[in-house]
Structure 1
Amino acid sequence: MAGAIIENMSTKKLVIVGVTLLLFQALSFMVGGLIAPGPTTAINYLATKCVDTTKNKQESKWFMPWGPNHCQKISTFEEAVAKRIEANNIVFAVHIPMQGKEMSPWFQFMLVILQFDILFKMHNQIEDGAVVTIDVSLAYRDDLYSEWTEMARSFERRNLNCKFSFEKNLGSQDRQYECDPLPFMEVGSVAHKYYLVNIRLPVNERKKVNIGIGEIKDIHLVSIHQNGGFTKVWFAMKTFLTPSILIIMIWYWRRITLMTRPPVLLEK
């Protein structure tokens, strides 16, 4: 008898197929809700202010915020002024992940957002349309005692979008601007265990580089990556469902070929 596959199935078989599909759907929801962790994790890193004491600025040197070979640090820019350290000699260093942790390829990707803490100063306010120029370099390694390998280096410009909720007078000095987070970088695959970010804010008054951006107090990096546990559950479900779909397709095509008429376009 010519007709669609579903029309030739008995009521019992149709009920079995429908109930099986509903059970698989319910099981998938339960796995996602009860077993799998949250899809992503966001970690806030406070950059360490390192002092670049190298005389040859052409050398490639990496500044570590902690560990046996950690950099020479300062806590505030007032300390830098007291020690006569120029802004061009300050490097903001961030190690990803935190001490005692390591990254994993199960994290899939790493998205990093930049956040400035900028203080209000009467003599150094943020100008309209202010643009910050950052000299950023990224390195990686897979062992705590190996040398850092450069992964990327770039000069980037970002528009500052900040507002000040107080009156701009002497009484409001050292209050903080409210600045929007800035896109910083994205790593498409987390193939290494440790990453090191070094950020410089070069100042050049003649070329108007990083002039009129206010007094930067601190730099925060927010790292967002996919949770390894979520990736494993997701991968396991895909591994299970892909062969199941193939088996269903083979069964369906076998039923099609057993019919006395040739298959129609929609069935193909």
Structure 2
Amino acid sequence: MGAVIEELSNRKLFYILALFGIIQTSFFLFGALFSPEPTSFMNYLMTTCSDSNPDVPSWHQIRPNGCKKIDQLKGYTPLTENVRDIVFVAQMPHERDNIKIMYSPWFQFMLGMLDFTIAYNENHLLDPEIEIQLEVRMGYKSIEDTNGQWIEYHNLNITRTLKCSIDEHKKVNGEHYNCEPIDLFELSATIHPFYLLNIRFPRSDKACNLNALAPNCKLPLFEELTATEIHQNGGFTQIWLWLKCIVFPFMGYANYWYTQRINYLNRSKYLVEKAIQALGISMLILDIPIEILTFITKWPILLFIGDFRQGLFYVVLFVFWLIFAGEHLFENGAGNTLRNYWINLTLIGTASFGFLIYEMAERGLQLWNPFHSIWATKNGSWWAHVLLTISSIATILYLIFLTYKVVLVWATVKRKREAQLYSSNPARKLKVESIIFRFKFLMVFTIVCAFVTIATYFLKQIGEIILHEDHTDGETAYETSWTTGFLTFAFGMWNLYVLLLLAMYAPSHKYYGEASILMSDITHSMDNFNGGQNGALITLLKDSNE
């Protein structure tokens, strides 16, 4: 049987592509005009409280008042030698116009950061990098326990690296250092409506006199401590969930239909057909709206599962592009096996393995300890840099090889078409030219999809940088709405691209009467054109009665 893309009339193909173009535009406009920005944040100027009995566990809160407030740290005399009586408090979320607001499972995740305000003092210079130790206690309340006691969520000591700098012209007493915010925690699910943070910075003057590198000995007196909480917008989650609920049934049926078509063939599957099938399944897995589970379960693993699904789709997509381009370069059926792509597959495997190990070491461990960070120690930071650098280099090399293969495919098709196909009769020439044009169109679509995928990846990295910036107000940049539009555009393009492959490269049920005459005339030419039955383009040119 021939493929659908071969037997589809130009008019029907035009209608299908026009419909896909309208749907693709709708994805972008839907995200840009109706969806809010992906994330929001709240700043909390942490309240400083005095604990008269720090050795007895107790909660310090703001609402209702459960804090003996310290107005100025500069004039405060610690009650204990290790200054554990000083507690920094953040109660999340804020009240708004005396109305209690709460976190929702729609927020999906919560990222916490700390920002230090430290004044320059020529008598106590601050090192560019210092390790600080924090005693962190996090509690939560449910809606039913609004007026009750806080329930302890986590209680542990953590170490972080504080990086601060100051311009030469600002080295005057009273000016402030520019300190990078430090990551505090990341919750993989917002399963509770209210949270409370109690943070202490223990330090012993006696220990500091004996060892200047003892915990917090190099941490100067700071004026303010600000906690920044970042979460996914509930409105963005709703839009994303609706899109998945809409496309999931279509993708599921397309996978079923494609599988049925290739199972009807009285031959083994070609490698490119297996790759398309794997791509369709990975897209289907990515489209599963598992976000619904956040409303019926308290599993914190859903965010990690989401990242794993995204990574799986990227891997299968990269492998498919490799096979799709490479299957048109091998002669005599030599390319119909993964062994011929071992170099490129090694690059994909290296990049994927590096990103997977990093994800497991960072977000995987945060399932049990949300205050864990691979960047907290020098060794962890070094390994993180090594993993990400190796993975990035492998990804760049893969893209270079892929670009080279795409250019080579175009040159090969052009050369062999001019050498062999143009010497054929008009009927055959018209047929083959039409198929080659459609193949080139799909290659262009593949290249566009590749660039959009790469742009989406870098956009995500830029978004991570923005999340770690020092936000000073609740305003959101205008560009973020268009960022949402680009994310929905990329999601729509992935689905449409996979749907197009499943629909156009499935074996057709049609038999046209002239196929036997036409193919008997060109069988020999086609065998020479691209060496065997495994190539995707040759699949389109094979006898429909086969």
With normalisation by structure 1, the TM-score equals: 0.87
* Cα offsets for 1:189-227 (capped at 9, x unmatched): 111001111110111123333222222111111111110
SS in 1 for 2:21: helix
Structure 1: runs of 5 or more not aligned:
none
Asked if 1:116 is matched to 2:116, the reply is yes
Return the offset for 1:58.
Answer: 3.7
2:73 is aligned to 77
Residues 187-206 of structure 1 mapped to structure 2, 5 A cutoff? 187-206=187-206
2:26 is aligned to 27
Worse-matched range after superposition: 70-79 or 97-106 = 70-79
Return the offset for 1:43.
Answer: 1.8
Residues 136-175 of structure 1 mapped to structure 2, 5 A cutoff? 136-143=136-143, 144-166=146-168, 172-175=172-175
1:93 is aligned to 89
Asked if 1:62 is matched to 2:59, the reply is yes
1:229 is aligned to 235
* 2:120–2:174 CA contact under 8 A, matched in 1: yes
Go from structure 1 to structure 2 and tell me whether the alpha carbon gap of 1:134 and 1:3 turns closer, same or farther (over 3 Å shift).
Answer: same
* 1:41–1:227 CA contact under 8 A, matched in 2: yes
* 1:5–1:255 CA contact under 8 A, matched in 2: no
Task: Measure, in 2, the Cα distance between the counterparts of 1:173 and 1:15.
Answer: 71
Go from structure 1 to structure 2 and tell me whether the alpha carbon gap of 1:10 and 1:122 turns closer, same or farther (over 3 Å shift).
Answer: closer
Return the offset for 1:176.
Answer: 1.6
Worse-matched range after superposition: 157-166 or 190-199 = 157-166
Return the offset for 1:253.
Answer: 4.1
Go from structure 1 to structure 2 and tell me whether the alpha carbon gap of 1:236 and 1:21 turns closer, same or farther (over 3 Å shift).
Answer: same
* 2:74–2:221 CA contact under 8 A, matched in 1: no
* 1:113–1:183 CA contact under 8 A, matched in 2: yes
Task: Measure, in 1, the Cα distance between the counterparts of 2:29 and 2:44.
Answer: 34
Task: Measure, in 1, the Cα distance between the counterparts of 2:253 and 2:160.
Answer: 52
Go from structure 1 to structure 2 and tell me whether the alpha carbon gap of 1:168 and 1:233 turns closer, same or farther (over 3 Å shift).
Answer: closer
Task: Measure, in 1, the Cα distance between the counterparts of 2:127 and 2:269.
Answer: 69
* 1:138–1:150 CA contact under 8 A, matched in 2: yes
Go from structure 1 to structure 2 and tell me whether the alpha carbon gap of 1:103 and 1:62 turns closer, same or farther (over 3 Å shift).
Answer: same
Higher relative contact order (CA 8 A, sep 6+): 1
SS in 2 for 1:206: helix
Task: Measure, in 1, the Cα distance between the counterparts of 2:74 and 2:170.
Answer: 22
1:267 is aligned to 273
Structure 2: runs of 5 or more not aligned:
209-214, 275-546
SS in 2 for 1:197: strand
Task: Measure, in 2, the Cα distance between the counterparts of 1:173 and 1:151.
Answer: 41
Go from structure 1 to structure 2 and tell me whether the alpha carbon gap of 1:167 and 1:21 turns closer, same or farther (over 3 Å shift).
Answer: closer
Task: Measure, in 2, the Cα distance between the counterparts of 1:129 and 1:247.
Answer: 56
Task: Measure, in 2, the Cα distance between the counterparts of 1:88 and 1:58.
Answer: 8
Task: Measure, in 2, the Cα distance between the counterparts of 1:62 and 1:155.
Answer: 17
SS in 2 for 1:38: coil
SS in 2 for 1:173: coil
Task: Measure, in 2, the Cα distance between the counterparts of 1:132 and 1:85.
Answer: 21
Return the offset for 1:126.
Answer: 2.0
Q: CA RMSD in A?
A: 2.3
Runs of 4+ in 1 over 6 A off after TM superposition: none
Return the offset for 1:250.
Answer: 3.1
* 1:120–1:214 CA contact under 8 A, matched in 2: no
Go from structure 1 to structure 2 and tell me whether the alpha carbon gap of 1:198 and 1:4 turns closer, same or farther (over 3 Å shift).
Answer: same
User: How many percent identity over aligned positions?
Assistant: 30
* Counterpart amino acid of residue 177 in structure 1: Y
Task: Measure, in 2, the Cα distance between the counterparts of 1:69 and 1:35.
Answer: 40
2:255 to 232, 238, 249: 249
Higher strand share: 1
Go from structure 1 to structure 2 and tell me whether the alpha carbon gap of 1:15 and 1:249 turns closer, same or farther (over 3 Å shift).
Answer: farther
* 1:103–1:193 CA contact under 8 A, matched in 2: yes
Task: Measure, in 1, the Cα distance between the counterparts of 2:128 and 2:249.
Answer: 58
* Cα offsets for 1:23-77 (capped at 9, x unmatched): 22122111111111000112211100011123xx44221111x222431112211
Return the offset for 1:129.
Answer: 4.4
Number of residues of Structure 1 aligned to a counterpart in Structure 2: 259
Task: Measure, in 1, the Cα distance between the counterparts of 2:232 and 2:128.
Answer: 37
Task: Measure, in 2, the Cα distance between the counterparts of 1:123 and 1:267.
Answer: 71
* Counterpart amino acid of residue 120 in structure 2: F
Task: Measure, in 1, the Cα distance between the counterparts of 2:128 and 2:15.
Answer: 68
SS in 1 for 2:56: coil
Go from structure 1 to structure 2 and tell me whether the alpha carbon gap of 1:59 and 1:137 turns closer, same or farther (over 3 Å shift).
Answer: same
